[in-house]
Amino acid sequence: MASGRDELLAHYEKMFEIRRFEEEAARAYAQSKIGGFLHLYIGQEAIAVGTNAALTDDDYVFQTYRDHGIALARGMSPNAAMAELFGKDAGCSRGLGGSMHFFDVENNFLGGWGIVGGHLALAAGAAFKSKYTEDGRVTVCFFGEGSTNIGGFHEALSLAGLWKLPIVFICENNQYAMGTPMSRTSPLDDLTLKAQGYGMQGDRFQGYDVRTVQERVGLAVKRARRGEGPTFIEVETYRFRGHSMSDPAKYRSRAELEERKKKDPLVIARDLLKEAGVGDEQMDEIEERVEAAIDACVKFAAAAEPAKEEVMWDTVYATDLSTKRGAGR
Amino acid sequence: MRELRYREALREAMIEEMDRDDRIFLMGEEVGHYQGAYKVSEGLLAQFGEKRVIDTPIAEAGFAGVGVGAAMVGLRPIIEFMTWNFSFVAFDQIISNAAKIHQMSGGRLKVPVVFRGPNGAAKQVASQHSHSVDPFYTNIPGLYVVMPATPRDAKGLLKAAIRCEDPVVFLEGETLYNVKGDVPDADEEEVIPLGKGRIAREGSDCTIIAWGRPYYTAMAAAEQLAAEGTECEVVDPRTLRPLDTDLMIESVRKTNRCVLVHEHWPYGGPGAEIVDRIQREAFDHLDAPILRVPALDVPMPYATNLEELVLPTTQRVVDAVKRVTYA
Amino acid sequence: MAKIIGLPKLSPTMEEGVLLEWTKNEGDAVEIDDLLAEVETDKATMEFRSFDRGVLLKILVPAGESLAPDTPVAIIGDAGEDISELLAQVASAPAKPEAAAEASSPAAPASPAPAAAPAPASTAAVAPEATSGERVFASPLVRRLARERNIDLRTVSGSGPRGRVIKRDLEGVQVAPARSAGARPGPRVVKASPTRKTIARRLTESKQTVPHFYLTIDVNAAPLVEARRMMNSTLDGDKVSFNDLVIKASALALRAVPAANASWMGDAIHFHQVVDISVAVAIDEGLLTPVVRDADLKGVLAISHEVRDLAARARNKKLRPEEMQNGTFSISNLGMFGVQEFAAVINPPEGALLAVGALRDDVVVVDGQLTAGKRMKVTLSCDHRVVDGAVGAQWLQALQKYLEAPASMLL
């Protein structure tokens, strides 16, 4: 069990890193150091970390605009992530994407996407490439339960099911599509019933214990890698913060939130580690290491060079236009 | 040189490129077993197999997105829309995704995808199937927009589009597929660079700028005017984004007058954009206001007499040239 | 380590927030994400949750205050910590929240000035028309060619729409060489406007067919100056001019000597029974003569208002034709230009016209003494066919009486 314990420790450390990263991002946002939209993943960390543990480094991952968690889980440095939030050239997208558009090509994290339902077909495209080139990779595509009502969801799952693409669709059901509970948007309680319509496997579980996520996503990934087609997974979760920083989350009661916080994946992992005999000292060591890294990333982001105008012009087109400053002249 | 139809020229371009690079595939509705709704892809399935010539369900948003996603990770998809009218349900994939990815990723991802298919009014297919979509896509930084008029340009530009590292919107003329024209011999590869226009006819009295089907209207008007002693220079920009501004400016500096002919509506679009560039960069060379001969500002009617009224005609072009030459 | 907590920015557009209620009390333990207060922003009532762990040591701002983001609102630290220094810092505004945390972090470098934005391709500014009064419409190409070849576009007639000068119109146009000592440019040719043509025709007709003769008198204008001063002093901002007084005096003189208020109509003489005075107004294209009807019946102020209105509308070309027709007598005044006296051309079919010279300082004899006075010359142009010398002279006498004793105009 020693290896299992070490793995859980590593998972805990990553989840704690994501939690502390976002808490500091929220602080920086409140200080106007971060602008635009900031969607926090706090409460959902077990899904990103558990899923990543079920993947290889070569596998492709797509996420919505709530993308900090999976980016860090994939291995993006907190420095690159925080610098992006601060709009700096050292950011993972050179300050051009911001919170919603993290990219990390080296770690095969292919984006935070801002239009609900818009990225599912892209993920199917990446999986299509794996099938076309037989590269053995699997694509994981995250989205919220709110996406399951939009056309892009249906077309992507339809094609992925038709072509048996190596892809796992993970619906992070955090109960609210912005402010609307699922009871008011879906005729189904069990979203995996939809999987049948696209000729794919469905699975459904709670996403509070990182080990459960790792195990169940792992089964779907194995199926995809064996060429047995896609899986649609619905994971029950809960976000502790509002939809974005400007959402006061009035649509739910404080009592509900406090009840849900009892299933905080970090608390669960901590309890499991305690049971497994991990002492306070070891936990403190992990937390100190994370605190130092997060503290450093905020300082790094604050001191980093601002985003560059020439990069803005140079990245409109990949081709070398004679006048990059605009095809629009 | 030999004579080919526009559709055959497009088909040759795809065959040659697919032979050269097996990352290229063709995907769309009816492209395979049906041999293409407009027979552009006729024979491709037999030649390249189901792996590379892929029939899709009716799901433009889905397969356009698959094309963009596949391009992000290294393939070079050709996505066929049965007509560009159907691209509107895939608008989000082209605009929010394809055109944004390179910049949004800080330059780290590229999207070498070609979206192609027939554009513009055919004959009596009424308002939902008669759009000239060039204004919608030319407005988007991050996209190339190409609109060839002749078989030769169709082939040379499609080859360039397939080789382009950026997303290309390739607008074929629905009524041009049967047009015949000279195309270089099969062993003479011609890749026409994107963003370069062409002087189709030289003249000193007035520049006529036209692309796609209206190119032929412009040429007919130029012939008619030549018989009356007015020599028009016809310029086909061929690529609408980026525009070959220098070529057009140079021509207007020579002729001092300019008329544009386009199938899109008058409100904005490349037509208005070109007028803007010319008035800015050739202001002191203009002897008359720049006039446009666009489609009339109405949804396309079904009745043939009304449809003929809406589309640019030779006579409307002749009249416009006479006005700017004060004839 | 204790730190000052600033009011967070709780929406992307928040510029101030009202701290509605503290949900923690001083001394309470605080966890990260614990609710500290409710804040009303531009968007909604938002939860102000803690970014820090510790004890709420001090609430700096009571509920109900409206605050800008970053305003220090509380101090959080360890239980029992000494916060006197932070309190002093807050007191000596402008305190910076989280000063303690910031102190050790490297200062963010000042952002370099953004590179100058690429200017859109611009064309050279078009030189304004040098001295033209009237705008010449010409194509941009023609304007450039005119600049290059030194062609005065006012000398070229345009064949394009609305008279636009186009390239073709420059063919064969003589290039005006830059003026040098030996070179002598010909006249600048300007097409006559319809108004100008009408003026020319009517004046020619008048001077060729009407037998003019002229009578001049020099009046003592001191009483007029005094009368005007007194009138204007009662008008509270409004005022009348000398010309208004001359109009009124002339109208009364026409009543006194009605023979001067007459027109030669070919085979009859019309003796007018109304006094309608045409007033000459200079406009860009020449001269217009709007008419003050029944000037004998109107007060000076009413005349003054009417003349101002007519003159303004004459300059804006807003006069109706009937407002310029059927006067019975004209007055033209060039006094404001310093002209002492002049003989004007009659405005047919009126029988006479009064030309008014400048009001001037002059030496006058009062009671045998030379003294400084005010004088003004007026010249009556008469149509000898209807106004003979004696009639003209009588009329001038009547006018002089009114001008030298303005109060008599009240009788």
Whether A60 shows a pLDDT value over 90: the answer reads yes
CA distance B254 to chain C (A): 11
* Full-model pTM: 0.71
Please state, rounded to an integer, the average pLDDT across all residues of chain C: 84
- The model's pLDDT over C146-161, given as tens digits with 9 standing for 90+, comes to 988 888 888 888 888 8
In this structure, which amino acid lies at residue C118? Answer: P
pLDDT of residue C284: 77
Whether B307 shows a pLDDT value over 60: the answer reads yes
- Return the number of CB contacts < 8 Å for A and B: 168
Hey, which chains touch C, using 3+ CB pairs under 8 Å? A, B
- Return the number of CB contacts < 8 Å for A and C: 65
Please state, rounded to an integer, the average pLDDT across all residues of chain A: 94
ipTM: 0.90
> Whole-angstrom Cα distance, residue C242 to residue C234?
16
Are residues B84 and B117 in contact, defined by beta-carbon separation less than 8 angstroms?
yes
CA distance A184 to chain B (A): 26
Name which of B280, B284, B326 is nearest C166 (Cβ-Cβ): B326
Strand partners, C54: C30
Q: Is B110 left (phi over 0), alpha (psi -120 to 50) or beta?
A: beta
> Whole-angstrom Cα distance, residue B131 to residue A1?
66
Whether C132 shows a pLDDT value over 50: the answer reads no
Is the Cβ of C118 closer than 8 Å to some Cβ of chain A? yes
pLDDT of residue C364: 84
How many CB atoms are located within 10 Å of the residue A164 CB? 16
Instruction: Enumerate residues 90 to 109 of chain C having a beta carbon within 8 A of any beta carbon in chain A.
Output: 98, 105-106, 108-109
- Tokens at A102, concatenated: 């993290």
Whether B90 shows a pLDDT value over 90: the answer reads yes
Q: Is B60 a catalytic residue?
A: yes
Q: Where are the alpha helices (DSSP H) in chain A?
A: 2-30, 45-53, 68-74, 78-85, 120-133, 151-162, 193-197, 210-225, 254-261, 265-275, 280-303, 309-314
Most confident by average pLDDT, C80-89, C209-218, C314-323:
C209-218
- Tokens at A157, concatenated: 């799952």
- Among chain A residues, the shortest Cα distance to C42 is held by A246
pLDDT of residue C176: 60
Decide if B280 and C143 are in contact by the 8 Å CB cutoff: no
Whether B221 shows a pLDDT value over 50: the answer reads yes
Whether A147 shows a pLDDT value over 70: the answer reads yes
Is the Cβ of C121 closer than 8 Å to some Cβ of chain A? yes
- CA-based nearest residue to C154, from C121, C128, C191, C123: C191
Hey, which chains touch A, using 3+ CB pairs under 8 Å? B, C
Strand partners, B145: B169, B241
- Tokens at A168, concatenated: 């796992």
C333-362 mean pLDDT? 93
pLDDT of residue C339: 93
> Whole-angstrom Cα distance, residue A62 to residue A126?
10
- Among chain B residues, the shortest Cα distance to A87 is held by B106
Decide if A96 and B73 are in contact by the 8 Å CB cutoff: no
Name which of B25, B106, B142 is nearest A93 (Cβ-Cβ): B106
The pLDDT > 90 percentage for chain B reads 98
| SS3 (DSSP) at C254 | helix
Whether C106 shows a pLDDT value over 50: the answer reads no
Helices A2-30 and A280-303 sit at what angle, rounded to 10 degrees? 40
In this structure, which amino acid lies at residue C338? Answer: G
> Whole-angstrom Cα distance, residue C377 to residue C357?
5
For C1, residues 6+ apart whose C-beta sits below 8 A from its C-beta are: C77, C78, C81, C100
User: For residue B326, which residues of chain C lie inside 8 Å, CB to CB?
Assistant: 159-160, 166, 168
Is the Cβ of A328 closer than 8 Å to some Cβ of chain B? yes
For A288, residues 6+ apart whose C-beta sits below 8 A from its C-beta are: none
Name which of C51, C70, C109 is nearest A26 (Cβ-Cβ): C51
Whether C130 shows a pLDDT value over 50: the answer reads no
In this structure, which amino acid lies at residue B78? Answer: I
- The model's pLDDT over A107-145, given as tens digits with 9 standing for 90+, comes to 999 999 999 999 999 999 999 999 999 999 999 999 999
Which residue is catalytic, options B30, B42, B129, B250?
A: B129
Whether C124 shows a pLDDT value over 80: the answer reads no
For B64, residues 6+ apart whose C-beta sits below 8 A from its C-beta are: A121, B79, B81, B87, B90, B93, B94, B115
| SS3 (DSSP) at A127 | helix
- The model's pLDDT over A199-243, given as tens digits with 9 standing for 90+, comes to 999 999 999 999 999 999 999 999 999 999 999 999 999 999 888
pLDDT of residue C134: 65
In 3-state terms, chain C is what percent helix, strand and coil (to 5)? 30, 25, 45
Decide if A32 and C9 are in contact by the 8 Å CB cutoff: yes
pLDDT of residue C133: 52
- CA-based nearest residue to B65, from A127, A201, C4: A127
- The model's pLDDT over C382-396, given as tens digits with 9 standing for 90+, comes to 999 999 999 999 999
- Tokens at C263, concatenated: 């027109």
Which of C162-201 are b and which e, b meaning 16 or more Cβ less than 10 Å from the residue's Cβ?
eebbbbebbeebeeeeeeeeeeeeeeeeeeeeeeeeebee
Strands A176-177 and B2-5 come out as unpaired
Decide if A309 and C114 are in contact by the 8 Å CB cutoff: yes
Q: How many CA atoms lie within 13 A of A260 on its CB side?
A: 19
pLDDT of residue C179: 59
- The model's pLDDT over B270-285, given as tens digits with 9 standing for 90+, comes to 999 999 999 999 999 9
Whether C110 shows a pLDDT value over 80: the answer reads no
B151-163 mean pLDDT? 98
pLDDT of residue C16: 84
Decide if C106 and A30 are in contact by the 8 Å CB cutoff: no
> Whole-angstrom Cα distance, residue A131 to residue A139?
11
pLDDT of residue C122: 35
Q: Where are the alpha helices (DSSP H) in A147-209?
A: 151-162, 193-197
Whether B319 shows a pLDDT value over 50: the answer reads yes
B167-187 mean pLDDT? 96
Read off the DSSP letter of residue C260: G
Are residues C39 and C46 in contact, defined by beta-carbon separation less than 8 angstroms?
yes
B99-118 mean pLDDT? 97
Read off the DSSP letter of residue B197: -
- Tokens at C199, concatenated: 């003026």
Least confident of A114-118, A252-256, B206-210, C401-405: A252-256
- Tokens at B64, concatenated: 């356009």
Decide if A155 and B56 are in contact by the 8 Å CB cutoff: no
| SS3 (DSSP) at C24 | coil
Whether C278 shows a pLDDT value over 90: the answer reads yes
> Whole-angstrom Cα distance, residue A239 to residue A263?
11
Decide if C123 and B281 are in contact by the 8 Å CB cutoff: yes
Q: Is the peptide bond before B193 cis (omega within 30 degrees of 0)?
A: no
Decide if C167 and B280 are in contact by the 8 Å CB cutoff: no
How many CB atoms are located within 10 Å of the residue C384 CB? 14
Whether B295 shows a pLDDT value over 90: the answer reads yes
The pLDDT > 70 percentage for chain C reads 87
Rg (CA), chain C: 42
> Whole-angstrom Cα distance, residue B238 to residue B152?
11
- Among chain B residues, the shortest Cα distance to C147 is held by B284
Whether C95 shows a pLDDT value over 70: the answer reads no
| SS3 (DSSP) at B51 | coil
> Whole-angstrom Cα distance, residue B251 to residue B204?
9
Least confident of A145-159, A287-301, C39-53, C182-196: C182-196
How many CB atoms are located within 10 Å of the residue B197 CB? 20
| SS3 (DSSP) at A121 | helix
Please state, rounded to an integer, the average pLDDT across all residues of chain B: 97
CA distance readout (Å), C280 to A320, B106, C293, C338, C347: 73, 76, 14, 17, 10
- Among chain A residues, the shortest Cα distance to C115 is held by A309
Decide if B288 and C123 are in contact by the 8 Å CB cutoff: no
User: For residue B243, which residues of chain A lie inside 8 Å, CB to CB?
Assistant: 327, 329
> Whole-angstrom Cα distance, residue C115 to residue B39?
52
Decide if B141 and A91 are in contact by the 8 Å CB cutoff: no
Is the Cβ of A310 closer than 8 Å to some Cβ of chain B? no
B111-127 mean pLDDT? 95
For A20, residues 6+ apart whose C-beta sits below 8 A from its C-beta are: A290, A291, A294
CA distance readout (Å), A157 to A283, A286, B112: 42, 40, 23
Per-residue pLDDT band for C94 (boundaries 50, 70, 90) equals: low
Least confident of A320-329, B203-212, C252-261: A320-329
Whether C403 shows a pLDDT value over 80: the answer reads yes
Are residues B169 and B135 in contact, defined by beta-carbon separation less than 8 angstroms?
no
Hey, which chains touch B, using 3+ CB pairs under 8 Å? A, C
CA distance readout (Å), A136 to A129, A132, A218, C54: 10, 10, 15, 50
